[in-house]
């Protein structure tokens, strides 16, 4: 399908005995593509530290990305296009998944990634899913507006009955928004608390 660098999901090394947590990001970066695993670079370090502070053991959780391919320049826009651009470039968009942002749609050549994520989530059967940033928020819930929706509990469209807690992507915090770290921690604590609910 594509020759972009690839990093698969990370299945838990010791799956939680009780209700399970899944954590979903956007797409691998360079280090993730090199190691073949999600969130093993700088964003992963911040994620791991904050999960630990929230009382979550990453080794018990599924860690995944919406897209398993590293996009050029780490820009998720690579997977999307407006109707106009898609037409101009002779590419198909898959409108079944709804708009991403104000005018973009997932390109048909990449929309199988969402179905793949859905099958993986079905098999893992989490009780709660953390959406790290706007891409997983859209893929998991069909909604846009991470700044308005972070810290809330939203229904998962891929897995009915499962709660999604949207929060910041750790790379957003690393790109100069260190003041948001306590909010990121609070969101992860909220997700952890729902596991026991
Ligand atoms: N950013 C993501 O969204 N996923 C990763 O695995 C790494 C960085």
Is this structure's pTM higher than 0.95? yes
Is the distance from the beta carbon of residue 136 to the nearest atom of ligand 1 less than 6 Å? no
Is the distance from the beta carbon of residue 126 to the nearest atom of ligand 1 less than 6 Å? no
CATH number at residue 178: 3.40.470.10
Is the distance from the beta carbon of residue 39 to the nearest atom of ligand 1 less than 6 Å? yes
- Summarize pLDDT for 71-98 with one digit per residue, the tens: 999 999 999 999 999 999 999 999 999 9
Ligand 1 centroid to Cα of residue 143, in Å, is: 20
Residue 114 lies in a domain: yes
8-13 own/partner pairs: CB under 8 Å, 24+ apart: 8/36, 8/37, 8/38, 8/68, 9/38, 9/62, 9/63, 9/64, 9/65, 9/68, 9/120, 10/37, 10/38, 10/39, 10/62, 10/63, 10/64, 11/62, 11/124, 12/59, 12/60, 12/61, 12/62, 13/59
Ligand 1 centroid to Cα of residue 184, in Å, is: 16
Residue 82 lies in a domain: no
Range of the domain at 124: 21-70+110-195
Please check the confidence at residue 34 and state whether its pLDDT lies above 90: yes
Ligand 1 centroid to Cα of residue 37, in Å, is: 9
């Amino acid at each position: 399908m594509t020759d972009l660098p690839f990093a698969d999901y990370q299945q838990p090394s010791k799956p939680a005995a009780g209700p399970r947590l899944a954590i979903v990001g956007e797409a691998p970066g360079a280090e993730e593509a090199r190691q073949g695993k999600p969130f093993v670079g700088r964003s992963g370090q911040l994620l791991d530290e904050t999960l630990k502070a929230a009382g979550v053991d990453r080794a018990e959780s599924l860690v995944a990305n919406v897209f398993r391919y590293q996009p050029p320049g780490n820009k998720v826009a690579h997977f999307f296009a407006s109707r106009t651009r898609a037409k101009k470039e002779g590419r198909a968009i898959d409108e079944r998944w709804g708009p991403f942002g104000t005018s973009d749609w997932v390109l048909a050549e990449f929309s199988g990634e969402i179905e793949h994520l859905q099958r993986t989530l079905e098999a893992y059967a989490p009780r709660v899913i953390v959406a790290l940033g706007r891409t997983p928020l859209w893929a998991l819930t069909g909604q846009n507006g991470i700044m308005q929706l972070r810290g809330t509990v939203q229904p998962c469209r891929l897995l009915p009955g499962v709660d999604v807690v949207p929060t910041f992507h750790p790379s957003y915090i690393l790109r100069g928004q260190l003041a948001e770290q306590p909010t990121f921690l609070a969101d992860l604590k909220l997700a952890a608390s729902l596991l026991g609910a």
